[in-house]
Amino acid sequence: MVRASLTSRPLDFLYFCFFLIHIPASLLLDFQILYPSAYLPTFLLALRQWYINFSADPLISAAARGDINGELVWFGCFAWLELLFQFPTFFLGMRGLWNGSHSIYVLILAYGASTATTTLPCIFYILKEHSRMTAVQQIILLSSYIPFFILPLMMAVDMGSRVYKIIRRHSLFEKPRYSGVQISRTIGVIRESFHALTLEKSPSGTL
């Protein structure tokens, strides 16, 4: 069966673009807390400092200070989850979406649920630390974090719906076949019983 092109599937195209733009963001900023500090290139450190000055992101600021081993240990765990699971999903997801593969739905569902779950605590932490940033910086931060919560959540709901429809379609396809066999057997038993009953009641069947 010929698959529709990616651009003719608006949601798949949106998810593809989301994965694509997330790759440089992860490599250049998110994963900095996991890289050995001695090997961080100067331009990455400069990029992080520019981002902190621009947005006053309390999470990235804490990571830059090395404060993620205490109260913010969960943020470090989320970074490892992004590296080991979410980041590979970007490439697998893009390939599956490009090919129109239904088999990628479950992985994208898991990614969406995982990313939405890990982004929500970050949003609440930013709201909690609002006093450390200006109103403009808070708007900038929320406008950059919230889409990374909404889109993955939308992926999870959408892919869950697609998987459910596939399962339901196959269930409805299989059910009549088995139901038909059962009905045929039941009708056969009823006919045999009725035939035996009529013979038993007929005069010719009386001994």
Percent of the chain with pLDDT over 90: 66
Is the model's pLDDT at 207 over the cut of 50?
A: no
- pLDDT digits 0-9 by tens, 38-92: 888 999 999 999 999 999 999 999 888 877 777 889 999 999 999 999 999 999 9
Give residue 179's domain range: 174-205
Same domain, 199 and 124: no
Q: What pLDDT was estimated at residue 63?
A: 87
Give pTM, 2 decimals: 0.80
Query: Among 8-12, 60-64, 191-195, which range has the highest average pLDDT?
Result: 8-12
Q: What pLDDT was estimated at residue 192?
A: 66
Is the model's pLDDT at 178 over the cut of 90?
A: no
Longest dimension (CA), the chain: 108
Closest by CA position to 78, among listed 34, 130, 23: 34
Instruction: Note the Cα 113 to chain centre separation in Å.
Output: 5
- Give the SS3 label for residue 13: helix
Same domain, 34 and 87: yes
CB 72 within 8 A of CB 123: no
Is the model's pLDDT at 177 over the cut of 60?
A: no
Residue 32 makes CB contacts below 8 A (sequence gap 6+) with 40, 44, 48, 63, 64
Assess if residue 168 is contained within a domain: no
Q: What pLDDT was estimated at residue 193?
A: 59
175-194 core/surface letters (b: 16 or more CB in 10 A; e: else): eeeeeeeeeeeeeeeeeeee
- pLDDT digits 0-9 by tens, 89-115: 999 999 999 999 999 999 999 999 999
Type of residue numbered 151: L
Assess if residue 1 is contained within a domain: no
Is the model's pLDDT at 174 over the cut of 90?
A: no
What is the total count of domains within the chain? 2
Same domain, 47 and 85: yes
Q: What is the mean pLDDT of residues 113-124?
A: 96
Same domain, 60 and 154: yes
Alpha helix positions (H), 68-146: 73-81, 87-99, 105-128, 135-145
CB 115 within 8 A of CB 86: yes
Same domain, 122 and 34: yes
Assess if residue 63 is contained within a domain: yes
Same domain, 84 and 185: no
Show the tokens assigned to 103.
Answer: 């088999």
Type of residue numbered 147: P
Show the tokens assigned to 187.
Answer: 């009708």
